[in-house]
Amino acid sequence: MGAEIMGVDLRHPLEDDTFEQILAAWHQHLVILLRGQEITEDDQVRFAERFGPPAVIHTQEYIRTHPAVMLISNIREDGKPIGALPDGEMQFHTDQCHQERPAMASMLYAIEVPSVGGNTLFANGYKAYDSLPPEIKERIEGRKALNAYDYHSAAMKRGTRIAQGVPFYVHPVVRTHPETGRRALYVNRLMTVSIEDMPEAESDELLQLLFDHQERCEFIYEHVWRRGDLLMWDNRCSLHARTDFSPGERRLLRRVTILGEKPV
């Protein structure tokens, strides 16, 4: 899982054959890395647009010049945060799984990174599904799960009602990738609340089993950030998480997400 692309300068538009090689590597490896980039917002958006239309950010206070660009940062200016998701560890999740059309891909560009921590972990959803015991595959076949954007009280407190106004959507527990045709486990510890049409206790037990399984170390790649890293991952077949880091150190990354299709 994961591939480094070398010899590409994203300050310049890509030739079609170069892009096709990058696309093929992304489909094969799920996560691609381009190190040593010195790019603007426009450069990053231009690269993202080769894969599909960027998804417009709905958190208005963190939008930059382009409506699809958002900062991920713990930095404050004049006492106000300049970005979202500032400090601490984040559990495994897939971006925008609470929406009808979750992000196909997410792209992070590292501008400032802490000396230790703040790493990003990636889990391979293909391998997680392929390695499930046959009896578990049978239990989840055709099932759907509710995913909520409520980091504080939804998925972390299963069995409670979702707070009023919290965005949520129901998606298949197992989804089929539209390009590769492979199946991937599509639930996550941070945002998946329950499996539909299943008793609460059974749903909780099954989800816990799936979470523990998909987070096994043999499915994980841990990325240690360097300034100038451009990292892009496929939300349709992978999960990601963040390790803790000192709140006294600055962390600044620029994110662009690419609109996806409704999972099937």
- Based on the domain organization, do 38 and 152 belong to the same domain? no
* Residue 264 in domain: no
* Residue 240 in domain: no
pLDDT tens track for 194-220: 999 999 999 999 999 999 999 999 999
* Residue 94 in domain: no
pLDDT at 60 over 90: no
* Residue 39 in domain: yes
> Residues with catalytic annotation?
93, 95, 240, 255
pLDDT tens track for 110-152: 999 999 999 999 999 999 999 999 999 999 999 999 999 986 5
- Based on the domain organization, do 84 and 160 belong to the same domain? no
H-only helix segments in the chain:
16-29, 41-49, 125-130, 134-140, 200-214
Calculate the alpha carbon distances from 48 to 14, 23, 42, 67, 108 in Å: 11, 11, 10, 13, 11
Rounded Cα distance, 189 and 191, in Å: 6
Q: Give the domain CATH number at 15.
A: 3.60.130.10
pLDDT at 229 over 90: yes
Counting the structural domains of the chain, the total is 2
What local confidence, expressed as pLDDT, does residue 162 receive? 74
- Based on the domain organization, do 80 and 136 belong to the same domain? no
Mean pLDDT of 78-87: 88
On the CB side of 110, how many CA atoms lie within 13 Å of its CA?
23
- Based on the domain organization, do 107 and 148 belong to the same domain? no
Rounded Cα distance, 185 and 232, in Å: 19
- Based on the domain organization, do 7 and 113 belong to the same domain? yes
Single-letter amino acid, residue 7 = G
- Based on the domain organization, do 161 and 253 belong to the same domain? no
- Based on the domain organization, do 40 and 107 belong to the same domain? yes
Q: What angle do CA 117, 105, 246 make, to 5 degrees?
A: 15
- Average pLDDT over all residues of the chain: 94
Please answer whether residues 243 and 116 qualify as being in contact, where contact means their C-beta atoms are separated by less than 8 angstroms: no
Enclosing domain of residue 148: 125-214
pTM for the full model?
Answer: 0.93
* Residue 82 in domain: yes
- Based on the domain organization, do 178 and 254 belong to the same domain? no
- Based on the domain organization, do 165 and 130 belong to the same domain? yes
- Based on the domain organization, do 185 and 230 belong to the same domain? no
* Residue 96 in domain: no
C-alpha 51, offset from chain centre: 16
> Which is it for strands 144-148 and 192-195: parallel, antiparallel or unpaired?
antiparallel
What percentage of the chain reaches a pLDDT higher than 90?
A: 84
What local confidence, expressed as pLDDT, does residue 163 receive? 76
- Based on the domain organization, do 130 and 177 belong to the same domain? yes
| Banded pLDDT at 57 (limits 50, 70, 90) | confident
Q: What is the DSSP string of 120-147?
A: EEEEEHHHHHHTS-HHHHHHHTT-EEEE
* Residue 177 in domain: yes
What local confidence, expressed as pLDDT, does residue 154 receive? 46
Rounded Cα distance, 47 and 5, in Å: 14
* Residue 73 in domain: yes
Please answer whether residues 97 and 193 qualify as being in contact, where contact means their C-beta atoms are separated by less than 8 angstroms: no
Please answer whether residues 104 and 49 qualify as being in contact, where contact means their C-beta atoms are separated by less than 8 angstroms: no
Q: Show the tokens assigned to 171.
A: 């998606």
- Based on the domain organization, do 200 and 252 belong to the same domain? no
pLDDT tens track for 153-189: 544 555 556 777 899 999 999 999 999 999 999 999 9
Contacts of 195 (CB under 8 A, 6+ apart): 140, 143, 144, 145, 146, 173, 202, 203, 206, 207
What local confidence, expressed as pLDDT, does residue 61 receive? 61
